[in-house]
Amino acid sequence: MTTIDPLLTVEQAAHRLGTGVRFIRRLVQERRIRYVKLGKPVRIPESAIAAYIEERTVPTLRDERSRYGKAA
């Protein structure tokens, strides 16, 4: 059984990211986020919002250091 990825309106996506609608429309126009075109309306999969956040999350210095192991 496949799980259906909910599709968000531009307004809902903007709300999830805490931004304005213009920002989401620019992401879509520049193809910086995945989207679904349903005729004229555009919908953004919820997983695309999660991926966008994950790709742009900056790790803390502690996370960066732990990646390289302990210093001698």
Q: What is the pLDDT along the chain (72 residues), one digit of tens a residue?
A: 667 899 999 999 999 999 999 999 999 999 999 999 999 999 999 999 999 999 999 988 887 766 666 655
Question: Half-sphere exposure of 45 toward its Cβ, with a 13 Å CA cutoff?
Answer: 12
Q: Read off the tokens for 52.
A: 């966008």
Q: Read off the tokens for 29.
A: 């126009």
Q: Where are the alpha helices (DSSP H) in 1-72?
A: 10-17, 21-29, 46-56, 61-67
pTM of the entire structure? 0.77
